[in-house]
Amino acid sequence: MTVDSDCYAVIFTSRLNNDAQGYEAMAARMVELARAMPGFLGMESARGADGAGITISWWESLEDIALWKAHPEHREAQELGRRQWYESYRVQICKVLRDGPRRPPEA
Amino acid sequence: MTVDSDCYAVIFTSRLNNDAQGYEAMAARMVELARAMPGFLGMESARGADGAGITISWWESLEDIALWKAHPEHREAQELGRRQWYESYRVQICKVLRDGPRRPPEA
């Protein structure tokens, strides 16, 4: 991802329940869906063995983020997350003010 | 963390080298140091088995972030990270525009 103009980040922090059956498949599907959305710039995820995870997605505009939030299949996933998968979660929407280059630069 | 007014997030994404000796101890020390800095609001980290990690720290102001970046012991850690621990890394500084509540709320 390079940031030539405005760029927004969604910070999603979560903790999975012990029983998170079906989560991995849905998470993979969400990545696939997000990539196809307008304004999608990138996504990175990390989850430790303790179940605590962080996903960042980057977008061109707040409107793009709102569209992604409202995507029907994504809404289903959000609902399943609330009901089943997440012990807790939190979403923050941010404006990227300064974007350091990836080091070393990508080949 | 609650956000009553302005709040800034530093998104640090990194990938560890296979040989990251000393990293865990330094990471723990950095958490301890950051907590004692002015304007510190919180920190969360996740790292998967593949070495890809994300750390978010939240701060009251950009000045607080600059002070933390310039802390002598933190600068040493940054230098060690560049030289030894990180295969790659990236830092973004963001302004939090919307902060969803932690769900469910903390007890």
How confident is the model over B49-106, as pLDDT tens digits? Answer: 888 999 999 999 999 999 999 999 999 999 999 999 999 999 999 999 999 877 887 6
Of B48, B94, B96, the CB nearest to A46: B48
pLDDT at B10: 98
| Beta-ladder partners of B96 | A94
SS3 content of chain B, % helix, strand, coil (to 5): 35, 35, 30
pLDDT of residue B21: 87
Question: What integer pLDDT is reported at residue A20 of this predicted model?
Answer: 82
Q: Which residues contact A28 (CB under 8 A, 6 or more apart)?
A: none
User: Does the beta carbon of A69 lie under 8 angstroms from any beta carbon of chain B?
Assistant: no
- Whether A90 contacts A52, CB under 8 Å: no
* pLDDT greater at residue A106 or residue A89: A89
Residue A103 pLDDT exceeds 90: no
- Over 70: is that where the pLDDT of B35 sits? yes
Residues of A in contact with B45 (CB under 8 A): 48, 52, 54
pLDDT of residue B5: 64
How distant is the Cα of B36 from the closest Cα of chain A, in angstroms? Answer: 23
If phi > 0 it is left, if psi is from -120 to 50 it is alpha, else beta; for residue A50 that is alpha
Amino acid (one-letter) located at B6: D
For A39-78, what is each residue's pLDDT tens digit?
999 999 999 988 899 999 999 999 999 999 999 999 999 9
Categorize the per-residue pLDDT at B42 as very low, low, confident or very high, splitting at 50, 70 and 90: very high
- ipTM, 2 dp: 0.89
DSSP labels, B46-98? EE-TTSEEEEEEEES-HHHHHHHHH-HHHHHHHHHIIIIIEEEEEEEEEEEEE
Name the residue of chain B whose CA is nearest to A52's CA: B46
Residue A19 has a pLDDT of: 81
Cβ distance of B94 and A89 shorter than 8 Å: no
B26-40: b or e for each residue (b if 16 or more CB lie within 10 Å)? bbeebeeebeeeebb
Say yes or no: A102 contacts chain B, CB-CB below 8 A.
yes
